[in-house]
Structure 1
Amino acid sequence: MKHRRMVCDIRELPDVSALKQWAAERGTVVHYLGPDLKCHAVYAAAVGPVIRVARSRYRDPHPHTLVWESPLENLPDAVAAV
């Protein structure tokens, strides 16, 4: 008989305070992951393969601009000559 193995369990909690409570109950810490596309801070805590995330209601204190560059914009000279 094969045993089931959990690979990853990711769920979003309603707010950061719920995430902090979840993390405290399990003896782990909350980590800042960065901003989401709406510029809200995203935090996570993990215990083994179980991960819980939460988004802040407020704007990210460390905003990052989203920048996309085409891989064709800065081609090496050898490729550009072809």
Structure 2
Amino acid sequence: MTCPTAPHIVFVMTDQFRADFTAGEGFGLDTMPFLDSLAAGGMRFRRACGTTGTSSTSTWTGRRSCTTSRRTRWSCTTAGTTRACATSGRI
């Protein structure tokens, strides 16, 4: 019996830029060509909403932000989204 080959996954986590300033999102200048080419050949999440400090902690630990020691002004809702996302209409 042989083991199946695991998929190659590259997770790119960026901070401090606006996605709508990329050509892939319709911005007039090609400001981030590598990021656009990476997104074109992969998966793009257009309705993502997160706060950097707590979402980074959750990404690396796999735990919801309300269960970590990171401070946040948003509480987790029963649906598993933050109140910020739920009230912004982005989910």
Q: Under TM normalisation by the shorter chain, which class is it?
A: under 0.3
- Which has a greater percent of strand? 1
| Structure (1 or 2) with the greater helix fraction | 2
| Larger RCO (CA within 8 A; separation ≥ 6) | 1
TM-score (norm 1): 0.28
Over alpha carbons, which structure has the higher Rg? 1
